Chain A
């Protein structure tokens, strides 16, 4: 396991990217994230995954909400839609419904997803919209400078919870599994190779794929989801985990003493586009 115990610097990262020859998916805009932010690792993973999958940039759309994580589309040389706080999923659904030939990758932070945008996730999942949702979870609000988030741990002190965070954190993996997501996995920004593989598999999945990425916010979280703490608590899912078994996935998702990365659940079923095509066929028959 590769440990990142020190911050990663922007300059180093850029050099590394340049050397990798994978700038094709990079836009001319440099990421505005803090040096060391886990998001660099995710965005590099997405670029690599796209290169390896050979996605055509003109047929790829990155959609986001608002937050540090949601700045992501600006840094990509694909089509992009930087929408509203919490609304990336419905925008992406509209895009996919109108043009199913596009590969749609949605990104967002934990607040964007589970606080303001929480109402949209079950519906994108149950409809099995053929999009990939990469959730950048840092357990804190980054862009607005350090408030508590729905995935902040109990007791976490932030600017809006200066004494104590009293709210129980959500369990996103359990939620997505129960919502009917057809592909659910977890990765860690500090494990870039595994992360890239997960992103590739997520994009490759036909249907709604949810990838939860644990990603430290080096600026506003010095105590809980740090690289140091995550390095210690992140473990791969057991080798014998059966990703076709929803109950097994749910049991694995309830492990709280450490964080397990890998594919929790994977299944195939008709996508929203398949359903809409069938509706159209039936309508034409009755016409």
Chain B
């Protein structure tokens, strides 16, 4: 059947195998190639917590012609590279979805151990001899995963040339022989796919008229953070490895030295944030990256940063907690720690991007804000956002300002220099070491304008006001979304308020609800501290019912909103270690419509 430009594409592929099968690598080639071909792609990989052994890996990619915001709970196609891992996932394949599997296993398979015996009658089975083809072409079984991707591409009529581009890109500068053999494995799989008898709906539709796009890049949230840091001109980075933040440090370790940036793996998170603050004190753009347990160790230093008024940026990617919790599973349960975790009244700026592009923006803007408001800034991510891939278009011109520091006037007498001068906007001109005559000591002790320790009641009050008031203009900081409303305007039946990675699912659910005729809108809140109370209140005013879905048990964001606005909201909390399902949010929206209808009738 011929492809028509009007035909929409929305297919989700899940590749499932065990660690060592090349599952994640296969998924990576698929998503990079489809992004190159001009499709929208959202992808998210699930790894086992253990490195060795035979833990389960799943790579999922949703390929669409229209812009979408999350993965689907059902996949259209499951590729099994390991049947024992794939069997539980057969149930996620939709009606008339395809299941692709190894049909010539090395040894006899016990009853029920083969994936084909678990399919429902509505599934379309495709058995392929991955191993045999790989062995025939490359004289090794190691390219089974590539044969599988090739088969998928052939079966679905995906353009082979983009796959070749991605494969040769992956091996650029490495072994040409290896690249050729992988390319040949792909071709063999591809041809097998093309030659397969299939039904028409197995084919992929158009890419949405965008054609082949070279400025769309597939990028993970953490990679976007790294790009943001580099574009903002990061000078120094200090970190201690922890999932899911480690890849930020690993990518920066490769890139920063090329631009004379300096990176150090410290002995723990306390020293990571301490060194970040030390570097910030000298005027450098400095950052660290961690997860909840690391942030817990950093809280005392966060307070010092607030009190001493030193710029510093911390990227915090949440995972399941408390304690070591579920290190390779996603959760949004460190909001309280990020917003409130400090000794004393130590407010700081907290930004929580909702998608990969937002990771880039918030990363760069965090450095601007840290400098402009002389404060630590936390950029709060989570595993689902750090590790998920989206096709993004980065601005062609670097959007980040170079130096946002308020410096002492050049001709002002150094003798009058007060590091903590009380000014109308609360921000004091900041001198850094190396400036003649402006020597001063910064301190975590309460201090007067000069920086001299003081516990006078009036000074503590005035300085507390200063440290909090100065942060409010961050709500108007240019070039970054602080909060934003989508969907129906005016009064709506249900409003969904969200933050962080879950906002993608919220948007999808809101769009579905509107299709069902429900008046619905969604608002994302990116700046969690200081909270944009005005816009949030205005949104709540417009909603008959408000739903707050988030991936934590304690409804941390809902409590934050209720505390700040005094308004009740409906909570939807899930802690399964997986992203929220669109269906669950949609169900809640439907129920709330019934709910408010009932109230109106009473």
Question: Which A positions have Cβ atoms within 8 angstroms of B?
Answer: 27, 29, 57-63, 66, 73-74, 76-84, 87, 89-99, 101-102, 119-120, 122-123, 127, 272, 276, 279-280, 282-284, 287
Give 7 pairs: A residue, B residue, CB < 8 Å, sorted on A. Answer: A83-B444, A90-B267, A93-B264, A94-B282, A102-B434, A119-B267, A123-B267
Is B268 in contact with chain A by the CB < 8 A criterion? yes
Distance in Å: Cβ of B255 to nearest Cβ of chain A? 8
The answer to whether B436 and A58 have CB atoms under 8 Å apart is yes
Taking a contact as CB atoms closer than 8 A, the residue among A57, A87, A94 that contacts B279 in the complex is A94
Shortest A111–chain B CB gap in Å is: 16
B 288-306 contacts with A by CB, 8 A: 300-301, 304
CA–CA, A177 and B10, complex, Å? 64
Interface residues of B in 277-330 (CB under 8 A from A): 277-284, 286, 300-301, 304, 308
By Cβ-Cβ distance, the 3 closest A-B pairs, closest first, are: A94-B278, A80-B441, A94-B275
Q: Is the CB of A87 within 8 A of B274?
A: yes
Indicate which residue in A27, A63, A276 contacts B262 across the interface (CB closer than 8 Å): A276
Cα–Cα distance between A91 and B277 once the two chains are bound (Å): 7
**A98 pairs with B257, CB closer than 8 A:** no
Contact A81 B271 (CB under 8 A): no
With A74-B453, A284-B258 in contact, do A95 and B281 touch (Cβ < 8 Å)?
A: yes
Tell me if B46 counts as interface (CB < 8 A to partner A).
Answer: no
Which of B266, B437, B441 has most A Cβ within 10 Å? B441
Partner among B272, B279, B308, B436 whose Cβ is within 8 Å of the Cβ of A95? B279
Quick one: which of B236, B442, B443 contacts A94, CB cutoff 8 A? B236
Q: Are B281 and A84 in contact (CB under 8 A)?
A: no
B270 touches A (CB below 8 Å): yes
Residue contact B257 to A284, C-beta cutoff 8 Å = yes
Kindly state whether residue B254 has any CB partner on chain A within 8 Å: yes
Q: Shortest distance in angstroms between A121's beta carbon and chain B's nearest beta carbon?
A: 10
Complex CA–CA separation, A64 to B109 (angstroms): 67
Query: In this complex, which of B282, B438, B452 has the most chain A Cβ atoms within 10 angstroms of its Cβ?
Result: B282
The answer for the CA separation of A193 and B257 in the assembled complex, in Å, is 44
Interface status of B260 (Cβ within 8 A of chain A): yes
Determine which residue in A74, A94, A122, A279 has the highest number of CB atoms from chain B within 10 A of its CB, and name it. Answer: A94
Bound form: Cα–Cα A280–B238 in Å:
16
**Pair B444/A94 contact, Cβ less than 8 Å:** no
CB atoms of A283 and B254 under 8 A apart: yes
B386 on the interface (CB 8 Å rule)?
no
Shortest CB–CB separation between residue A235 and chain B, in angstroms?
A: 35
List the A side residues contacting B238 at CB < 8 Å. 94, 97
Identify B452's interface contact among A61, A74, A93, CB under 8 A: A74
**Bound: A87/B275 CA distance, A:** 9
Question: Looking at the complex, which one of B236, B254, B262, B439 makes contact with A78 (CB distance below 8 Å)?
Answer: B439
Nearest CB on A from B393, distance (A)? 25
The CA-CA distance from A98 to B238 in the complex, in Å, is: 11
* Contact pick for B282, options A76, A78, A84, A98, CB 8 Å: A98
CB pair B257 A280 closer than 8 Å:
yes
Tell me the count of chain B residues lying within 8 A, CB to CB, of chain A.
Answer: 48
Q: How far is the CA of A66 from the CA of B453 in the complex (A)?
A: 13
Q: Are A82 and B445 in contact (CB under 8 A)?
A: yes
A127 to B276, CA, bound (A): 17
Is the pair B433, A58 in contact by a Cβ cutoff of 8 Å?
A: yes
Q: List 12 additional contacts besides A91-B274, A98-B236, A99-B284; criterion CB under 8 Å.
A: A73-B441, A74-B441, A80-B443, A81-B443, A82-B445, A84-B444, A89-B271, A90-B270, A94-B280, A95-B279, A98-B262, A102-B434
A71 CB to nearest chain B CB (Å): 8
Taking a contact as CB atoms closer than 8 A, the residue among A78, A90, A284 that contacts B266 in the complex is: A90
**How distant is B444 from chain A, measured CB to nearest CB, in Å?**
6
Docked CA distance A27–B441 (Å) = 10
Given the known interface contacts A81-B278, A90-B274, the answer about A98 and B286 at a Cβ–Cβ threshold of 8 Å is yes
B301: chain A residues at CB < 8 Å are 84, 87
> B493 an interface residue at 8 Å Cβ cutoff?
no
Is A98 in contact with B270, judged by CB distance below 8 angstroms? no
Chain B residues with CB under 8 Å of A127's CB are: 264
In the complex, the answer to whether B278 meets A91 with C-beta atoms within 8 Å is: yes
Q: Are A87 and B258 in contact (CB under 8 A)?
A: no
Q: Tell whether, in the assembled complex, residue B278 and residue A98 are in contact, meaning their CB atoms are under 8 Å apart.
A: yes
Asked if residues B439 and A57 are in contact (CB atoms below 8 Å), the reply is yes
Assess whether A94 is in contact with B254, with CB atoms less than 8 Å apart: no
Q: B456 CB to closest chain A CB, in angstroms?
A: 15
- The reply to whether B279 and A81 form a contact with Cβ atoms under 8 Å apart is no
CA distance A62 to B268 in the complex (A): 23
> Nearest B residue to A82 by beta-carbon distance?
B443
Answer yes or no: B550 CB below 8 A from chain A CBs: no
Give bound CA distance, A69 to B264, whole Å: 28
CB of A90 within 8 A of CB of B442, answer no
Shortest beta-carbon distance, B493 to chain A, in Å? Answer: 51
Flag whether B440 is at the interface (Cβ < 8 A).
Answer: yes
Q: Mark B250-265, 1 if CB is under 8 A from A, else 0.
A: 0000101110111010
Q: Are B257 and A81 in contact (CB under 8 A)?
A: no
B304 near A83: Cβ-Cβ < 8 Å:
yes
Chain B residues within 8 Å of A276, by CB: 257, 262, 264
Docked-complex contact B271 and A123, CB < 8 angstroms:
yes
Most buried by B among A58, A62, A90: A90
Of B435, B439, B453, most buried by chain A (CB within 10 Å of CB) is: B439
Nearest-neighbor residue (CB-CB) of B236 within chain A: A98
Residue of A nearest to B284 (CB): A98
**Residue B235 interfacial (CB < 8 Å):** yes
Bound complex: CA A261 to CA B308 (Å)? 37
Contact: B235 with A98, CB < 8 Å? yes
Give Cα distance in the complex from A77 to B278, angstroms: 19
Q: Is the Cβ of A58 less than 8 Å from the Cβ of B275?
A: no
> In the complex, are the beta carbons of B439 and A94 less than 8 A apart?
no
* Whole-angstrom distance between the Cβ of A274 and the nearest chain B Cβ: 12
Cα-based distance from A63 to B308 in the complex (angstroms): 13
For B279, list chain A residues within 8 Å (CB): 94-95, 97-98
- Complex CA–CA separation, A284 to B258 (angstroms): 5
